[in-house]
């Protein structure tokens, strides 16, 4: 059962990482095409934090319960992702 749990968690986090990667590419494209700063590097930071936090959980505790350092990494990654998405939206919508 732990192998199946790890496989499902890995596939799920791979999908999340792919979506964050797409957001980074969109921000990078917007930076290049509009010559405005869209803070695309924040998406890479978020991707790194989320990947490390998820990998920690998948390797150590695949039930995603009770590892404070991994929780902190996932929380920071999510927070940075929210800020980066808000900034990108504000810049793209001209607000």
Q: With 0-12 CB in 10 A as exposed, 13-18 as middle and 19+ as buried, what is 59?
A: exposed
The total number of structural domains in the chain stands at: 1
Predicted pLDDT at 94? 84
Can you say whether residue 39 is alpha, beta or left, with left for phi > 0 and alpha for psi between -120 and 50 degrees? Answer: left
* pTM for this entry: 0.88
The Cα–Cα gap between 75 and 64 comes to 13
pLDDT digits 0-9 by tens, 46-93 = 999 999 999 998 888 777 777 888 899 999 999 999 999 999 999 999
Q: What is the residue range of 84's domain?
A: 2-93
The DSSP letter of residue 25 is: H
């Amino acid at each position: 059962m732990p192998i199946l749990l790890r496989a499902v968690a890995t596939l799920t986090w791979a999908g999340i990482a792919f979506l964050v990667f797409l957001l980074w590419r969109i921000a990078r494209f917007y930076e290049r095409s509009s010559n405005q700063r869209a803070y695309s590097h924040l998406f890479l930071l978020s991707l790194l934090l989320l990947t490390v936090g998820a990998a920690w959980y998948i390797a150590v505790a695949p039930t995603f319960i009770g590892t404070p350092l991994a929780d902190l990494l996932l929380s920071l990654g999510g927070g940075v992702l929210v800020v980066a998405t808000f900034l990108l939206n504000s810049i793209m919508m001209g607000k």
